[in-house]
Amino acid sequence: MAGTPFPRQVPAFDAAFGTERLLYGSDYWWTPIDAVLSQVTSIDSAVQPSATLTWRDLTTRNARSLFDTDAR
């Protein structure tokens, strides 16, 4: 996911593919701070994937499983 992924991008992605490979990336260096804060707010205020897992937790876990060479 990128940009402001809620309310449309992530639910559509989840319905089509699931969330096991969902990652988050941003061009925060090039994006004005107000836009970055809006993006983060949209992620944090969206309905979370479960009662115990946030979107940040889920995308961090997925990134670690992809890039963590010790886990392979």
pLDDT at 60 over 90: yes
Cβ distance 72 to 37 under 8 Å? no
CA pair distance 72, 68, nearest whole angstrom? 7
Per-residue confidence (pLDDT) for residue 71, from 0 to 100: 58
- The 3-state DSSP class for residue 14 equals helix
Q: Residue with structure tokens 């707010």?
A: 41
Per-residue confidence (pLDDT) for residue 49, from 0 to 100: 94
The pTM of this model reads 0.80
Give the rounded distance of the alpha carbon of 22 from its chain centre. 7
35 phi/psi in degrees, rounded to 5 = -70, -40
